């Protein structure tokens, strides 16, 4: 069993293959966090933390007046409340019916279930048939306010993952208001940690920053009503000496796509607390008698084998237990998108010309981007009117899809359902469907407003429109875009507190996506928000891949892919070969370099093949062969970050190793060629040290031990942004031991 309960000392121990997580109920019914780390069995960790009388740290009333050592202000806890003596970060803040705050949560009961819990209306990890998963539910109660909190734990034994969420239930006869409700709290009373987080901006997402955890509160958050380009809902706590290959580290990933908050506090005695959940600013939620509130899920993982292994644990979890549907683990089609080739300026003849050239090169899908609908000759009009523009496409989408299918390609299309232009038929008919405050004019972004997805009739309308589109032609791919941050958060739906609108918007989005993917299970949905502005595990539950960034510059992509890879697998990253000079940066790079960079993702093209030379077209054919040859190795192999592009400014190196260790691929890109350079020497990772490996491009065979421990020297790579690919295959002879 993954979950053990010792009734005599009320101790819960959660085991995965390599980790132990322990919770204990103390003599006063307080729920203590005792341990999370490397696997230790048959141990009660109560001995490890000593209670002491601390000045200005009060004691629960039911303690003996002379027992001053028990204090919520110093105790490691599983879930914390406000205004009851713990002055650190709080998980739950409720305004009770009498105007008071706080809940005194005490242990009530527990339940252990086979399988994995689900969360109504929210994405949550699920168990595969081969997984050993159990659920622990611990019930806490405040008998004074009649508040119940249920803490859910999903234990994925083979994945070394523990998921968490909380359910808040109002069992009083009067309504209460949730003003803060976190999904999970993790207390680490000992150790010296760094916080690793992933900041960014539009066109430069998920840049890595590492800083010491200090005696303060460090916050990573978004108030943009999307998880955002600026911060990602995933952080790592790593001991100071942890690197790629060794050291303790904890991952905390929130599966949520709206406003979020992740706080890290080191308290007065050095204990570290981290919490994750919905951002509490501008949030409130009324709970009437008998109602409950479900928090988004947090995905926790730990390893003592460094940041690389932690990443690989998350890659396996997302690929096998988050993404769903037909393309969950199937090879995705190789596509070409017309945006960088045409922008809004296209017609049917131009689109068919691009498609015909692409089909001749072996590309498998054509995706029609923005501009195909409504009065859409720029981004100033048309959003909301999901009817084909017959001036551009006089024979409609059905005919266009048929013609492209006849070329041997699949057909896909771009939509941005969540947004609306004021210059649209939909806005003229339903101006109240846009989010905007009644007292002032709304903020425009990209000359568009946002539809109120917290309203059921809006989601129903979008479902009908998109269902009609998907039923009108053989459409096998949807690129779902969202090109602005939200503000003016006010719903004309008056039956609820406006503090609920932001979260209800996310619930509406999830509900709409779930209905669509259930109704059209063969369609591949790709998420996008101006590139990577909503790149999170919540969206990956509905869309198995997300456009990595609007910046397709292959050298910039090295940093974006690097940061993204700490939590998310290659198979989730939408990456394409684009034009040179690059549309975003103006940089010129060789065609082969653009391809090798894009191969570390779903792979595709953003260009007009009509503008390519004969030599470039032959290169595309070679690139497609590489895509097919290495697809499984890159997408489902184990990723090793050999270099750090934020520190190694001359080269970027990454390695992919097959799960059975029989094959490996190293991609090297020279990012700053040097005169009279030092030798670039790398050490392979993840090979079998007792096996021999053959180099594809030369008559050389070396042992895994030699490649990993003695290393390999990269030949000189002169020229602008040169590339080198090293492919190894296992040969049957064993190396001498």
Q: Which residues pair with 109 in a beta bridge?
A: 139
Enumerate residue ranges in the chain where pLDDT < 70: 494, 733-737
- The pLDDT, as a whole number, for residue 736 is 52
Contact 79, 72 (CB under 8 A): no
10 Å CB burial of residue 464 (0-12, 13-18, 19+) is exposed
The answer as to CATH 3.90.1150.10 being correct for domain 3-321 is: no
Q: Count of CB atoms within 10 A of residue 398's CB?
A: 13
Contact 250, 33 (CB under 8 A): no
- The pLDDT, as a whole number, for residue 737 is 47
Catalytic residue among 616, 618, 672, 720: 616
Active site residue 616: yes
Model pTM score: 0.97
Instruction: Using alpha carbons, select from 688, 728, 717, 682 the residue that is nearest to residue 705.
Output: 688
Q: Which residues, other chains included, contact 723 with Cβ-Cβ below 8 Å and sequence gap of 6+?
A: 590, 592, 593, 596, 667, 668, 669, 670, 717
Catalytic residue among 385, 536, 608, 663: 536
Strands 477-480, 410-415: pairing is parallel
- The pLDDT, as a whole number, for residue 697 is 79
Residue 571 CA to residue 336 CA, distance in Å, equals 17
Which ranges of 226-347 would DSSP assign to H, the alpha helix?
306-321, 339-342
Contact 137, 111 (CB under 8 A): yes
Strands 691-695, 723-734: pairing is antiparallel
Q: What is the CATH number of domain 651-734?
A: 2.60.40.1180
Instruction: Using alpha carbons, select from 312, 83, 298 the residue that is nearest to residue 183.
Output: 298
10 Å CB burial of residue 25 (0-12, 13-18, 19+) is buried
Q: Which residues pair with 169 in a beta bridge?
A: 148, 292
Q: What residue ranges do the domains of the chain occupy? A: 3-321, 651-734
- The pLDDT, as a whole number, for residue 734 is 55
Which tokens sit at 255? 């599966």
Active site residue 370: no
CA 200 to chain centre: 14
- The pLDDT, as a whole number, for residue 631 is 97
């Amino acid at each position: 069993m993954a979950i053990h309960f010792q009734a005599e000392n009320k101790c819960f121990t959660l085991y995965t293959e390599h980790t132990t997580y322990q919770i204990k109920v103390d003599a006063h019914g307080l729920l203590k966090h005792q341990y999370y780390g490397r696997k230790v069995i048959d141990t009660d960790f109560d001995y490890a933390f000593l209670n002491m009388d601390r000045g200005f740290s009060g004691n629960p009333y039911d303690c003996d007046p002379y027992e001053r050592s028990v204090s919520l202000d110093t105790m490691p806890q599983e879930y914390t409340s406000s205004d009851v003596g713990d002055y650190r970060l709080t998980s739950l803040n409720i305004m009770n019916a009498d105007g008071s705050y706080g809940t005194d949560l005490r242990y009530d009961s527990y339940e252990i279930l086979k399988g994995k819990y689900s969360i109504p209306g929210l994405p949550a990890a699920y168990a595969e048939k081969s997984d050993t998963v159990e659920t622990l539910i611990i019930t806490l109660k405040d008998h004074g306010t009649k508040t119940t909190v249920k803490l859910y734990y999903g234990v994925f034994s083979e994945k070394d993952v523990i998921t968490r969420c909380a359910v808040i239930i109002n069992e009083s006869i009067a309504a209460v208001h949730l003003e803060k409700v976190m999904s999970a709290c993790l207390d680490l009373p000992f150790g010296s940690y760094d916080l690793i987080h992933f900041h960014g901006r539009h066109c430069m997402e998920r840049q890595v920053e590492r800083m010491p955890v200090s005696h303060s509160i460090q916050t990573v958050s978004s108030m943009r009503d999307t998880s955002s380009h600026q911060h990602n809902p995933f952080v790592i706590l790593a001991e100071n000496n942890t690197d790629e290959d060794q050291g303790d580290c904890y991952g905390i990933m929130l599966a949520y796509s709206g406003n979020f908050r992740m706080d890290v506090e080191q308290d007065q005695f050095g204990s570290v607390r981290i919490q994750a959940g919905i951002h509490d600013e501008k949030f409130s939620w009324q709970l009437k008698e008998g109602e409950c509130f479900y928090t988004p899920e947090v995905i926790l993982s730990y390893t003592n084998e460094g940041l690389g292994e932690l990443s690989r644990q998350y890659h396996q979890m997302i690929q096998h237990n988050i993404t769903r549907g037909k393309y969950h683990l199937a090879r995705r089609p190789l596509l070409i998108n017309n945006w960088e080739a045409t922008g809004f300026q296209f017609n049917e003849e131009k689109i068919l010309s691009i498609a015909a050239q692409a089909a001749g090169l072996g590309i498998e899908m054509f995706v029609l981007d923005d501009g195909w609908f409504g009065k859409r000759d720029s981004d100033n009009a048309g959003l909301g009117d999901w009817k084909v523009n017959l001036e551009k496409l006089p024979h409609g989408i059905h005919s266009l899809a048929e013609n492209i299918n006849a070329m041997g390609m699949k057909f896909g299309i771009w939509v941005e359902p969540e947004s609306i232009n004021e210059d649209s038929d939909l806005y003229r008919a339903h101006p109240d469907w846009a989010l905007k405050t009644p007292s002032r004019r709304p903020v425009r972004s990209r000359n568009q407003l946002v539809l109120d997805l917290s309203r059921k009739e809006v989601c129903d309308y979008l479902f009908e429109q998109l269902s009609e589109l998907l039923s009108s032609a053989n459409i096998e791919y949807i690129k779902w875009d969202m090109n602005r941050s939200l503000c003016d958060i006010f719903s004309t739906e008056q039956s609820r507190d406006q503090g609920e609108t932001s979260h209800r918007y996310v619930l509406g989005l999830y509900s709409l996506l779930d209905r669509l993917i259930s109704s059209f299970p063969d369609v591949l949905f790709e998420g996008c928000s101006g590139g990577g502005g909503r790149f999170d595990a919540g969206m990956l539950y509905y869309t198995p891949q997300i456009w990595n960034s609007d910046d397709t510059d292959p050298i910039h992509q090295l940093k974006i892919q690097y940061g993204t890879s700490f939590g998310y697998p290659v198979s989730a990253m939408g990456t394409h070969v684009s034009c040179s000079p690059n549309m975003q940066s103006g940089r010129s790079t060789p065609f082969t370099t653009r391809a090798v960079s894009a191969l570390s993702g779903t792979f595709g093209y953003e260009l007009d093949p009509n503008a390519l030379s004969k030599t470039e077209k032959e290169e595309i054919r070679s690139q497609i062969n590489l895509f097919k040859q290495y697809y499984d190795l890159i997408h489902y192999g184990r990723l090793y970050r050999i270099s750090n592009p934020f520190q190694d400014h001359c080269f970027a190196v990454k390695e992919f190793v097959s799960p059975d260790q029989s094959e490996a691929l190293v991609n090297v890109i020279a990012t700053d060629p040097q005169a009279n350079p030092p030798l670039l020497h790398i050490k392979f990772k993840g090979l079998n040290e007792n096996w021999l490996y053959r180099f594809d491009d030369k008559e050389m065979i070396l042992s895994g031990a030699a490649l990993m421990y003695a290393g390999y020297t990269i030949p000189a790579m002169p020229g602008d942004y040169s590339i080198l690919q090293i492919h190894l295959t296992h040969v049957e002879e064993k190396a001498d031991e």
